[in-house]
Each structure stands twice: as structure tokens, then as C-alpha cells.
Amino acid sequence: MHQYRRRISVLLGLLFYLAIVVPSVTADEVKIPSRTRWVESDQAMEVTPSRGHLLWSYGESKFSAAVNATEKQTRVGYRWEGPPAESPDWRGIKRDTLYFVSYQFVAIVILYMAPEKLSGWTQEDKDNYSFSKWTENVKKPIWDDDEWWVNYILHPYWGATYYIRAQERGFKSMQSFWYAVLLSTLYEYGAEALFEPVSIQDLIVTPVAGALIGEYLFKPIRKRIRAKDQLNWPDKAVLILTDPLGVVNEGLNRILGVNTEVSFRQLRMENIPLSSGLSRERENKAESHSNINPVWGLQLQVNW
């Protein structure tokens, strides 16, 4: 049992490590350049985006971008602010479930290859292990004798995170409860069954207590944090702790390019009207170039 708890601790450590290092823990920010340079014939004109207004034409639709030099654009990533999805995201929840199962067995492989000091597995344990042990464990669920904090703190905590993951995907309370039941069952009959028999009370306590904690503790806390105008690092730490699977999954989505969109568009620059904030000399110079001929080109756009 000591070795089992040791392995579970390592699994949890790996999960939180991933939650820290994946690219989505803090959304990437891209600063817009402070100056843009347009060249016509042998003369050049500089435009400061914070003072200018660029109008582009994409076929029949137009895109207008009034930008400021200090404005930042945030890439797609974990939803740190705003409410959860309004309607069920079935594609997203299926992907979350697949990731959940994958994490378990990837972690098992890592532990199997890790030194004995880290994994608790001796070489003899590895040599004598067989798939028949899992078969026996899933056939005979038992009322386990794990430490109280494992059964009644650790398992309910993870049940609450399963519940929150479904809530974030737009599912209602009862649907979220059944999703917690699903993930708990997948864990009991998956990674955990490689080490010990399926636990009867874990199948019950994890989703039931987890749903209560998720609904009446995690959910209100997350709602209050997301209502803030700006989040600091303790706020994000709480969001990570209450939805670690969501944070890690979004990071993996970006690594795998799940949310990446690549498109080519034909564009045409029509004009560059400037605000009155520029100097008179530069305004006169700009007016002499205001009737520039349209410039056509091809734009590659990658949303990642």
C-alpha cells in the first residue's frame, strides 16, 4: 500500500508539473509593433498605429482595425475569464475524456521506466508483473482500507475537478455528476486496477462527494474570480487547482494543433486616413500620398 500511495503521489506531481509548464497556463501575448512603414515608389511614409486607422478589404467583406501601440492580442488558450460555455460541447468533452485515459497510461509508462527511488517498483516487481493482475483486480471489487485522507479528501477532490471539467464544457449539474461518475470509473478500472482491486467506496465517494464540492465550493469560487476585471497569479493558481485537467488539456490542444486554423486571404489596402494628432508637416506629407493606388497581396493567417 505504501508503494501504491507513492506512485499516486508521483502521478499527481506529474499532472501539476504539466499544468505549470504547458503553454496555456498563461496565455501568450503578442505586442503590436509601434510603427508600420509603407513604401510607395521611391518615397516612404511612416504611420504610427496608435494615431492611424487602417482599412483593409477582403473581397466583399471589410476588416477595420483601430489599434494602439500598447494594445495586446491574446491567443486562444484556457478560458481564464468569463462564464463557462452556454451549451454542451460534446466534441470538447470527448477529447477531455480521451486525454484523461491517455494521461494515466503515459504516466504508468514513465513510472515503469523511472528509477526505483521514484516509482517504488523494484526490478523484481517489473519482471513478475503481468496483465493477469489487472484482470483479477477488476473482477473482484473490494471495500478498501486506504488511509482516510486518500478516500475522503483526495478522491473527492478529483471528483470535484471532474465535475468542474463538465461544467466548463457547458453541461448541467446532473450531466456533470454523471461525467464525474464516468471518469471515476475509468480511473478505478484503468490505472488504479494495475496496482490493486477496484475500490467500492471510491466508485461512490469520488463522484458523489466530488459533485457536492464542485457545485457548492469550486463553482462559486471560480465564478467570483472570473468576475474580476483583472486576474493575478493567485487567482490563476486557484483556477488551475480547481480545473487542472482543463488547463493541461488546453496546453496539449495547442501542442497538437487542435485549435489551429490556417487560411489564405486576398487583401487590398484602400487608404490610410490619419487622425489630427499628427503634426501639420506630417499631415501635409500624408495628404500628398492619400490617393495611393490599391496594393493587392496574399495574407497567410494562422490562429494558434
Ordered by start, the domain boundaries in the chain are 2-23+91-256, 29-74+260-303
**Does the structure show a pLDDT above 80 at 144?**
yes
Picking from 149, 114, 113, 132, the residue whose alpha carbon sits closest to that of residue 193 is 132
Picking from 105, 127, 102, the residue whose alpha carbon sits closest to that of residue 116 is 127
Task: Note the pLDDT of residue 97.
Answer: 97
Task: Note the pLDDT of residue 77.
Answer: 80
Give the pTM: 0.65
| Cell representation of residue 105 | 497510461
pLDDT digits 0-9 by tens, 67-125: 333 333 334 589 898 889 999 999 999 999 999 999 988 888 887 888 877 767 778 77
Task: Note the pLDDT of residue 298.
Answer: 58
Distance, C-alpha 24 to centroid of its chain: 5
Task: Note the pLDDT of residue 124.
Answer: 79
Buried b (16+ CB within 10 A) or exposed e, 226-252: beeeeeeeebbebbbebbbbbbbbbbb
Task: Note the pLDDT of residue 25.
Answer: 40
Query: Residues 195, 7: contact at Cβ < 8 Å?
Result: yes
Task: Note the pLDDT of residue 48.
Answer: 41
Which stretches within 227-298 are classed as H helix?
Answer: 233-242, 244-256, 280-287
Task: Note the pLDDT of residue 161.
Answer: 98
Beta bridge partners of 303: 261
Q: Which amino acid is at 180?
A: A
Distance, C-alpha 151 to centroid of its chain: 28
pLDDT digits 0-9 by tens, 222-269: 999 999 989 999 999 999 999 999 999 999 998 887 765 555 566 655
| Residue count (the chain) | 304
With cell 462527494, the residue in question is: 209
Distance, C-alpha 291 to centroid of its chain: 46
pLDDT digits 0-9 by tens, 264-289: 566 655 554 544 455 556 556 555 55
Task: Note the pLDDT of residue 111.
Answer: 78
Task: Note the pLDDT of residue 43.
Answer: 40
Average pLDDT over residues 16-27: 45
**Does the structure show a pLDDT above 90 at 40?**
no
pLDDT digits 0-9 by tens, 163-193: 999 999 999 999 999 999 999 999 999 988 8
Confidence band, pLDDT 50/70/90 cuts, at residue 20? very low
| Cell representation of residue 97 | 475524456
Confidence band, pLDDT 50/70/90 cuts, at residue 64? very low
CA dihedral of 84, 90, 94, 97, whole degrees rounded to 10: 40
CA 74/CA 69 separation, integer angstroms: 15
Q: Which residues contact 288 (CB under 8 A, 6 or more apart)?
A: none
